[in-house]
Structure 1
Amino acid sequence: MKNKFPTIKTDRILLREITDLDVKNIFKGLSNPNVIKHYGINFDSLEATKEQMIWFAEKKQMWWAICSLDNQTFYGAGGLNDINHKENKAEIGLWLLPNFWGKGIMKEVLPLISYYGFNNLKLNRIEGFVETDNLNCKNAMSKLDFKNEGTMKDCEIKNGKSISVDVYAKTN
């Protein structure tokens, strides 16, 4: 029997399991040039987005759909990936559709995901890898008590160019 996926609510936000019904919203986000500018993947078709849906369902990932409290508006997705129980750590990630940027959603959701990781999954470390030029995300991570541990210079290739990534982490 599959464990029930946790639902998390605040006064204005619902975090719920991502289902196959979300594929159009996931595609809408992960094909948007503004969203994927600082995101590691993108999709050019609904069919290709199914690859991401399979990834969300893997045991080492725990990602939520970020929605309005009444579940009528999809804001984005966020969660933990590469959950490693042996090392008691995971990577945190989040993306929002541009209409919902600057509304405090990221500041509200990242602590909820961190809390779940530390208290329910018993993680000791949650890491965030942020492209060096993604200033908004870096500011949010700092405000949420993630410590900047340094920069991995030219560590990834994106769109044919080397990029650097800043490492942020929070420990329990």
Structure 2
Amino acid sequence: MMNIFPVLTTERLILRQFREDDIEEVYRGLSHQEVIKYYGVQYDSLSATQEQMDWFRQIVEEEKGIWWAVCNRHNPTFLGAIGFNDWSKENRKIQTGYWLLPENWGKGIITEAGHAACRYAFDFMSVHRIEAVVETGNLGSRKVMKSLGFEYEGTMRDCEIKNDRWISLEMYAKLNNQ
């Protein structure tokens, strides 16, 4: 897939490879109750967060996806993460996900990063379809899906158990219609 990890830039952001010194910010995000409310992964210690850091590297090495650290382009501030996993080369589709530290919510950061990431997937990964699965209560991600041009395809009712209760997931997708 990639000999050199791609760095993406936008007007305000740089999307770069995760570094080992990002672990504290990743832990801060993936242990924060508001961030993990609708996210599928959470950690209760800095050492446990190493599993996530290893996963970021592993999916690139195994050509199963790619995740970027989302940072401020004008200073080194870490803002969150965005990326792709579950890459099916045979079916030319991939799944996207993202999260931001709460102080960065509502600023259009994920929309800006998402446009750059989707362009990369379509132009350099030969992906035809990008999927996103959103918990029904996650209004913020619903807005992001709309702003990125994803279409709502349906709801999978009571399809997973999270925190000992059934949750429903909405499926969104964006096609490369070039």
**Could you state the TM-score of these two structures normalised by the residue count of structure 1?**
0.96
161-170 or 80-89: bigger deviation:
80-89
* Counterpart Cα distance in 2 of 1:30 and 1:8: 23
Aligned match for 1:160, one of 147, 164, 178: 164
* Counterpart Cα distance in 1 of 2:104 and 2:48: 25
What is residue 82 of structure 1 aligned with on the other side?
86
Query: Is contact 2:9–2:116 with CA below 8 Å preserved after alignment?
Result: no
Query: Is contact 1:55–1:61 with CA below 8 Å preserved after alignment?
Result: no
88-97 or 66-75: bigger deviation:
66-75
Q: How many residues align?
A: 171
Give secondary structure in 1 for the equivalent of 2:106.
coil
* Counterpart Cα distance in 2 of 1:83 and 1:50: 22
Query: Is contact 1:155–1:164 with CA below 8 Å preserved after alignment?
Result: yes
* Counterpart Cα distance in 2 of 1:126 and 1:66: 19
Q: Which structure 2 residues correspond to residues 114-133 of structure 1 after superposition, within 5 A?
A: 114-133=118-137
What is residue 102 of structure 1 aligned with on the other side?
106
The gaps in structure 1 that reach 5 residues or longer are: none
Query: Is contact 2:87–2:93 with CA below 8 Å preserved after alignment?
Result: yes
What is residue 52 of structure 2 aligned with on the other side?
52
What is residue 70 of structure 1 aligned with on the other side?
74
Deviation at 1:71, TM superposition (A): 4.6
The gaps in structure 2 that reach 5 residues or longer are: none
What is residue 38 of structure 2 aligned with on the other side?
38
Query: Is contact 1:14–1:71 with CA below 8 Å preserved after alignment?
Result: no
Give secondary structure in 2 for the equivalent of 1:122.
coil
Query: Is contact 2:115–2:148 with CA below 8 Å preserved after alignment?
Result: yes
Q: 1:37 is aligned with what amino acid?
A: K
What is residue 151 of structure 1 aligned with on the other side?
155
Deviation at 1:61, TM superposition (A): 2.4
* Counterpart Cα distance in 1 of 2:153 and 2:16: 31
* Counterpart Cα distance in 1 of 2:90 and 2:125: 12
Q: 2:67 is aligned with what amino acid?
A: W
What is residue 113 of structure 1 aligned with on the other side?
117
**Could you state the TM-score of these two structures normalised by the residue count of structure 2?**
0.93
Q: What does the per-residue CA deviation read over 1:99-132, in whole Å, with 9 as the maximum and x for residues that have no partner?
A: 0001110110111111100110010000000001
* Counterpart Cα distance in 2 of 1:22 and 1:61: 19
Q: What does the per-residue CA deviation read over 1:129-168, in whole Å, with 9 as the maximum and x for residues that have no partner?
A: 0001001111220222100000001111110110000000
Runs of 4 or more consecutive aligned structure 1 residues displaced over 2 Å after TM superposition: none
